[in-house]
Structure 1
Amino acid sequence: MTITYITRGPEDDQQNNFNIKDFQGEYIRKAQPTMQNVNLPMSNPVSSRHFNKQLNVASAVFFLFVYGGMDLAHSAGWNQTLNTTASQQFKCSWFIGVLGGSMLSSLLMSFLPKLPFYILGGLMQLTGAIIFTCAPFDYGLLLAARYVAGAGIGLITVPFLIHSAEVAADKYRGVSGAMEQCGLALGIAIQVIYDTQWVDDKEASVNEVHGIIGIVFSLLGLGMTALSIESPIFHLRRKQEGKARECHEKLLGSFNPFVDQAFEEARLYVAESRERTFLQELVSSVLPFIKMLFYRGFVAFSFSLPLSASLISSAKLTEGQISCWPVTVWGLVRLLGALVAQGFLDKVGRKLFSLIGLLCMSILMLCMAVSYDDPANILVTFYMYQVWRLGVAFQAFAGVFVCSSSVYLGEAFPLRFKPFLVGYIVGFEQTIHILNIVGYNKGSVDFFYRYYLTVGIILMLGVIFFAVVMPETKKLTLREAGRRFQRLLNIRFF
């Protein structure tokens, strides 16, 4: 913005020539100062300092999600040197814990602030990590640790998805919400790489390493939670306008010229929910719930036990061992895809970018099904080369797709039912993971062909369905985003 400082009077002598008389009575024209335009940068509606405050909660929970990603990969087949038997119950235990924790948090978060969930969840994860470090060979204790750590991540996930959407500015909501999947992707990369590169002659077992890394990330996450700021919407729902205003000013800055406008938008968001009856809110939740149930459910197909087992078997056949570069790349590309998606969600948009990722996922999965159409192909080097190459590409596009699901979950639902519906959908995602584990353990010789063909077709149908019904919510307020989710058809991609 240009501010003009007028430091010189008009040229017209009749109007104001600034003349004075000398001692002889003659007029002397005063020295005329110059006029200059000074360009001063006006403060951005969301300065970088306050943008960082909005991301404090996302940064804190990011470290907790990293350890969650390690446990997710540990359950999905990346436990090659577990030192104990990885039974079906052991593989499912973490997902069961997440399911239980998400259900509990969805019931309580309407009455409690978010910080206790982050602290309790972080402490539970820390407890699980300590058990892995102190008892790396005790199956019973390790099983208990996985239940506890899974419940901790469940307690964190549902509040975070809602909290991140409420505290972030409209143009940064994608960056904030995507922190969940970026943290999980980093944890997956760490678990995959050290699980395959760790050799047995090391002094520490792989379970001890798992626990030590988990302790580090849990402590980092717990320390960062002290910087998080409660959502103003939480206080507005409890009619605590003073506290809501205080939180809002911490997020945006009390001298921000747009703070009143943003606070009024938050008040309208809460007021609209109060004006609707219970039945109206319930009816408004039906379409968003159906859309997000399938959308988030597809995230469970992006990283599963069958995918891991397929890559491990193909890498062993083609490279002779699991400690090889294809596995390392496979662990990293998902993180790379998630980081790219995080950077584009608020610029290009959620819908188009994610649907491209999902389309590529479906095509790659169908191509892997072709490689497995004959059960004898699992012993043919040519076909197994194709499988791990396609698998690496699949994980890259999976990282591109999954980030938008976290953002959408924070935007989709009416305020009154949001915790319950988000908790149910997160639990549904864990149920699909459990079914993948149970189905693979009971798989036949042609399991991979049937699995990849079925899931590939489901993903392809999902691309068509989501292209028609999913909205683009880039830079929209929560009220505007919710209205778009309540419409059946959303054809626009921008």
Structure 2
Amino acid sequence: MSTTTYVTSAPVTVQQTNYLTGQETQTTYITTGRAPPPPPPDVSVNVVIVNPGGRWSKTATKTGTAATFAFVCAGLDMAQGLGWNLNGNVATTLEFQYSWFIGFIIGAVVSALAVSFLPKMIFYGLGSIMNLIDAIIFVSAPYEYESILAARYLGGVGIGLITVPFIIHSAEISGSNSRGTCAALEQYGLSLGIAIQVIYDSQWAGDLGMAVNRVHGIFGIVFSAIALGSVTMAIESPIFYIRQNQEDKARASIRRLLDSWWTVERGNQAYEEAKLYVVEGTSQGVGEQVAESVMPFIKMLFFRCFVAFAMSLPLSYSIESSSYVYEGTAYAWPSIVFGALRLLGSLLTLVILDTVGRKFVSLLGLMCMAGLMLGMAGVYGDYVNILSPYYMRQVSNLGIALQFFAGIYVCSSSAYLGEAFPLRVKPFLIGLIVCVEQVIHIVVIATFTSATSEYFYNYFVIVGIILVVGLVAFAILMPETRGTTLRKAGERFRRVHDVMAY
């Protein structure tokens, strides 16, 4: 055997063994250079994906500011027509009470017909101007019945112009994890306005030297002016621009909504989701979408109309008359707590609607509302109890507690309305539902002729039973849409039943 040895300055990875004519020859390589570096160690890398939904939520909430302050004005006017005109400088006639609701219906019909073609900012601006004129009339002519009546009609038209566009807009500009909060600003604003009207109207003293209608107008001017100024902060929905074939504006809208969280990838994802929603919504005919909307419409018609029972003329008269019996005056502390708890319930729901979910929260509020109304009906069932300070204290406590749970219930309705219907028919069905809600208010006002124990009993037992039936139906039929896209939420609404509560 012969051996050949080579000395190299670089590593050699190949070793050869040759066999020549039966004689074994071995070749060996000796490396004198630097050894190769060791392989890199295994490193675990944790990738943290930051969800931009929180930032989207803040931007969408800022966009809804204009409408939110307008809804505060609406709460002031609505509460005034539902029994909280105790120190009124003009007569509280039947027309005075239902005038705002008729104006609302007119405005809602107009906005439902035009919202698909005009930017939302037009409705926000025009509605805020009408509310501002309404408030100015209250300040300048607080003792003139005809002027105040015209102002209430005008304010109703203004808020009707805002409501349908806002429900659609809030659903389109918010992310899947913030849509409930953004949409609930409608009912939160109404609750804030109701609380302000109830508290100052029940505590205002006539010797303070200022007409209570003028105070109403001052509040209206402040909130309307803020709403009008906030219109400049509003961002149009990218879905609206996509429907108008304006891709550049749609992408710019998405970039503004995402704000500092915007990246090319996130912007493209949001644009593609919005475009897919538009494509699916416009690829179907109106007749096909109407057929698909039958089940969602039935669900939302009853769900939203129950909101009318959360704040009504009999509830207001009940708290006023019961306070008078056991406190000796209607201008007592129960009215303050009545308004404050309504606001507190709405504020609490605003915070948890996208974490706990719409269905569980609304069912909890509805269950307690039904139980409390039936409890009030039980007290009024014995007609002599209306003269008892003890029993009227119990009625007052039940009515106060009911407002807290009413505030919890009502916020889910706004989110559900924005999610339930296909794109083409959405404004018309939302407009129809909110108009029916106002009709219920008008019917209750027209039929409530006297604050007697018999009427209270009939009203609370009938409404309480309706709410119990609705509770069972909603538990079976209503979907949970927390954390879903608009497309997915619409699919869930089209199911006949959906028992998932969380």
TM (norm. structure 1) is 0.91
* 1:125 partner amino acid: N
CA contact (8 A) 2:54 2:178 kept: no
- Asked whether 1:92 is paired with 2:98, we answer yes
Q: How does 1:232-247 map to 2 (within 5 A)?
A: 232-247=238-253
C-alpha distance after superposition, 1:217-272 (max 9, x if no partner)? 00001111100000011111122222212111211244263221121111111111
CA distance in 1, matches of 2:385, 2:496: 44
Farther-moved stretch of structure 1 (51-60 vs 83-92) = 51-60
Determine if contact 1:45/1:256 at 8 Å carries over to the other structure. Answer: no
Alignment coverage as a number of residue pairs: 470
Deviations along 1:333-363, one digit per CA (max 9) or x if unpaired, are 0111111111111001100111011011001
Whole-angstrom CA distance in 1 between matches of 2:77 and 2:54: 36
The structure having more radius of gyration, on CA atoms, is 2
Q: How does 1:26-41 map to 2 (within 5 A)?
A: none
Query: How far 1:444 moved relative to its partner?
Result: 5.7
The aligned residue for residue 116 of structure 1 is 122
1:404-460 CA distance string (max 9 Å, x none) = 000000000000000000011110110011111111126765100000000000000
Task: Name the structure 2 match of 1:168.
Answer: 174
Counterpart amino acid of 2:131? Q
After superposition, residues 110-149 of structure 1 pair within 5 angstroms as 110-149=116-155
Q: What does the per-residue CA deviation read over 1:258-300, in whole Å, with 9 as the maximum and x for residues that have no partner? A: 2211211111111111221222111011111111010000000
Return the offset for 1:42.
5.8
Q: Which digits, 9 at most, give the CA deviation of each residue in 1:27-54, with x for residues without a partner?
A: 9xxxxxx999998976532353x43222
Q: Does 1:194 align with 2:195?
A: no
Which residue of structure 1 lines up, in the alignment, with residue 483 of structure 2? 475
Q: Distance in 2 between matches of 1:138 and 1:439?
A: 26
Cα 1:240–1:453 shift into 2, 3 Å: same
Q: 2:64 aligns with which of 47, 51, 58?
A: 58
For the 8 Å contact 2:53–2:177, the answer to whether it is kept is no
Tell me if structure 1 keeps the 8 A contact 2:237–2:250.
yes
Find the aligned partners of 1:225 and 1:210 in 2 and give their Cα distance. Answer: 23
1:375 pairs with one of 383, 392, 401:
383
- Find the aligned partners of 2:208 and 2:76 in 1 and give their Cα distance: 20
Change (3 A) 1:140 1:39: same
More displaced stretch, 163-172 vs 436-445: 436-445
Residue aligning to 2:30: none
Aligned-partner Cα distance in 2 for 1:451–1:14: 97
- Report the Cα distance in structure 1 between the residues aligned to 2:303 and 2:450, rounded to whole angstroms: 27
Distance 1:169 1:44 in 2: 10
Partner of 1:31: none
Aligned counterparts, 1:20-419, within 5 A: 43-46=50-53, 48=55, 50-253=56-259, 254-255=262-263, 257-419=265-427
Question: What SS class does the counterpart of residue 357 from structure 2 fall into?
Answer: coil
Task: Please give the alpha-carbon distance, in whole angstroms, between the structure 1 residues aligned to 2:371 and 2:50.
Answer: 47
Does the 8 Å contact 1:45/1:257 carry over to 2? no
Q: In the alignment, residue 411 of structure 2 is paired with which amino acid?
A: C
Q: CA deviation at 1:61?
A: 1.2
1:347–1:474 contact (8 Å) kept in structure 2: yes
**SS class of match (1:70):** helix
Opposite residue 204 of structure 2, the aligned amino acid is W
> Could you say what the CA RMSD is over the residues aligned between the two structures, in angstroms?
2.3
Cα distance in 2 for partners of 1:47, 1:454 equals 43
CA distance in 1, matches of 2:358, 2:257: 24
For residues 223 and 412 of structure 1, the distance between their equivalents in structure 2, rounded to whole angstroms, comes to 31
Taking the aligned partners of 2:109 and 2:417, their CA distance within structure 1 comes to 15
Corresponding residue SS for 2:364? helix
Q: Is the 8 A contact 1:306 1:448 kept in 2?
A: yes
> What is the CA-CA distance between 1:322 and the residue it aligns to?
2.2
2:118 aligned partner, one-letter code: L
Distance 1:394 1:452 in 2: 12
Separation in 1, partners of 2:212, 2:266: 52
Distance 2:190 2:499 in 1: 31
How far apart, in 1, do the equivalents of 2:467 and 2:314 lie? 16
Contact 2:111–2:164 (Cα < 8 Å) also in 1: yes
Amino acid at match of 2:176: D
Tell me which stretches of 4 or more aligned residues in structure 1 moved more than 6 Å.
34-41
**5+ residue gaps in structure 1?**
1-12, 16-25, 28-33
Where structure 2 has 5 or more consecutive residues not aligned to the other structure, the ranges are: 1-9, 13-32, 35-40
Structure 2 residue aligned with 1:456: 464
Name the TM-score, length of structure 2 as normaliser.
0.90
- Name the CA shift for 1:47/1:377 in 2 (closer, same or farther; >3 Å): closer
The amino acid across from 1:401 in the alignment is Y
The DSSP-based 3-state class of the residue aligned with 2:245 is coil
